[in-house]
Every structure is written in structure tokens, then in C-alpha cells.
Structure 1
Amino acid sequence: MGEFKNRINVTINDQHYTIVGEDNPEHIRYVAHLVDERLKMLASKSAGLDTTRKAILTAVNIMHEKVQLEEENDRLKLELQQLKNSEDI
């Protein structure tokens, strides 16, 4: 503990947040910007949703993409390992 933490002020869905983390401040701002863009995109397609529902659906969509990317990463790692093994033969 006692590690240096950055305190970054961001705006998501017209709300101000302070995010505390060890990552580069520009990276934190970029991630917050992406979340804000996703919320806005969802809001433009589903104007009747309240903020909580927009936030939950945005989180579900982002997590879905994360899982897909992890599965693709695992598949590519396996493929790479198989290629390496075939070169050893």
C-alpha cells in the first residue's frame, strides 16, 4: 500500500467523477471518454431508458466485447502454440 495514485476528474453522461488509479492520467481520460461515447450511442438508440438502465446495458455490452476478445485471444494463443509445436517436428 502507500502507492502513488492519480486522481483524475472526468465527465461521463454529463456527470462529474473523480477516478483514482495508478494508470497514466491520459489513459484514464481516454477510457472515461470511451464509456461516455458508449452511453451516448446507447441513449441515441433507446431514448426512453433511464440513466441506470443505460449504464447497466452499456456495462453488459462492454463486458460482452471483453469476453469475446478474451476468447479470441485464447484461440490465437492456442493457434500460435500449435504452429510453434509443428515447427519443432
Structure 2
Amino acid sequence: MSKGKIRYKTTIAGRPYTIIGARPEEHMRSVSKMVNEQMQQIESLSKGLDPERRAVLVAVNAVSDQIEMQIKLEDMQKRVEELEKKLEKDQEMKTSDN
């Protein structure tokens, strides 16, 4: 195992897993809990789906959320750049007025 990585043991959808990563245990616990909750939610909405199909739907939801957050992040970064340029321009105008 690489330096800084920890092994976190958890149960998701009734099966044991060991997650290896560099994130704090609290983060891993939150991720595990969220995945487990999503697996249970999908199971309650779609009776008869096997665990593999439920896991694929959880992964699809996670990637969809990730893409949505990436778009929001890019929009926010663009807005910050616009505001920085406006601020810079306003400061230049103030110094030229003096």
C-alpha cells in the first residue's frame, strides 16, 4: 500500500468491502453510507433488480452528479474570472482618476 492510504472495512448492500484510499476514515464512512443508502433506495424503487444492476445505477447517478458539479464549478470559475477582470478594470479606472 502506498504511503498515506488506509484500509476501511465496510458493508454495502449486505456484502463486506475493504476500501483503500487516501481520504480520512470519516470521508470513507460518509461515502460508504451514501452508496448503501442509494443501493437501498434503488432496491425499494425497482424490486427484482439484481445487486449488480443496482450498483450500475448507483454509479450512473454518481457520475451524473459529478458531471453536474463539474459544470457548476466551471461556471463559478468563469464568473470569478469575470469578477476579477471587472475589479481590476475598476481599480485601474480609480488610479487613473487620481
Aligned-pair distance for 1:4? 3.7
CA distance in structure 1 between the aligned counterparts of 2:74 and 2:43, rounded to whole angstroms: 33
Structure 1, gaps ≥5 residues long: none
Q: Deviations over 1:35-67 (max 9, x none)?
A: 111111111110121111100011001100110
Aligned-pair distance for 1:29? 1.2
Specify the code of the residue in structure 2 equivalent to 1:86. K
Structure with larger Rg: 2
* TM-score, normalised with respect to structure 2: 0.84
Structure 2, gaps ≥5 residues long: 90-98
User: In 2 relative to 1, CA 6–49 (structure 1 residues): closer, same or farther, beyond 3 Å?
Assistant: same
User: In 2 relative to 1, CA 75–4 (structure 1 residues): closer, same or farther, beyond 3 Å?
Assistant: closer
Aligned residues: 89
Aligned-pair distance for 1:2? 4.3
Q: Which runs of 4+ in 1 moved over 2 A?
A: none
* TM-score, normalised with respect to structure 1: 0.92
Partner of 2:66 in structure 1? 66
- Is residue 22 from structure 1 mapped to residue 22 from structure 2 by the alignment? yes
CA distance in structure 2 between the aligned counterparts of 1:37 and 1:2, rounded to whole angstroms: 30
